[in-house]
Amino acid sequence: KTPLGWHILRVVKIEPAATQTFEQAKPQIEQELAQQAAIDRLEKLGNKVDDALAGGAPLADTAGKFGLKVTTVAAADTNGADPNGKPVALPPGKDEILKTVFSTEQGDTSRISQMQDGTIFAVRVDKVIAPQVRPLAEVKDKALAAWQAEQKRETASKEAEALAAAVKAELPLAKAAADKRLTVTPSPPLSRDAQNAAPAPPALISKLFAAKKGDVVTATDASGAYVAQLKEIQIPENPPDTAITGLSDQLAGEARVDAAGEFTEALRRRYPVEIKRDALDRMF
Tens of pLDDT, residue by residue over 50-93, are: 999 888 899 999 999 999 899 999 999 999 999 888 899 988 88
Question: How much is the pLDDT for 137?
Answer: 84
pTM of the model: 0.46
Count of beta carbons in the 10 Å neighbourhood of residue 198: 17
DSSP secondary structure letter of residue 171: B
Question: For the chain, what is the mean pLDDT?
Answer: 86
CA distance 243 to 194: 12
Asked which of 29-33, 112-116, 119-123 is least confident by mean pLDDT, the reply is 112-116
Sign of CA dihedral 11, 12, 14, 15: negative
Question: How much is the pLDDT for 88?
Answer: 92
Tens of pLDDT, residue by residue over 151-193, are: 999 999 999 999 999 998 888 898 999 998 988 888 888 877 6
- pLDDT over 70 at 197, yes or no: no
Count of beta carbons in the 10 Å neighbourhood of residue 76: 20
Average pLDDT over residues 126-141: 85
User: Got the DSSP string for 103-150?
Assistant: TS-TT-BPPPEE-TTS-EE--B----PPP-PPPHHHHHHHHHHHHHHH
Tell me the percentage of the chain whose pLDDT exceeds 90: 32
Question: How much is the pLDDT for 268?
Answer: 81
Average pLDDT over residues 251-261: 86
Beta strands of the chain (E only): which ranges?
113-114, 120-121, 216-221, 224-229
CA distance 218 to 42: 57
Average pLDDT over residues 208-234: 89
| CA dist 45 → 59, 114, 119, 123 (Å) | 14, 11, 11, 16
- pLDDT over 80 at 196, yes or no: no
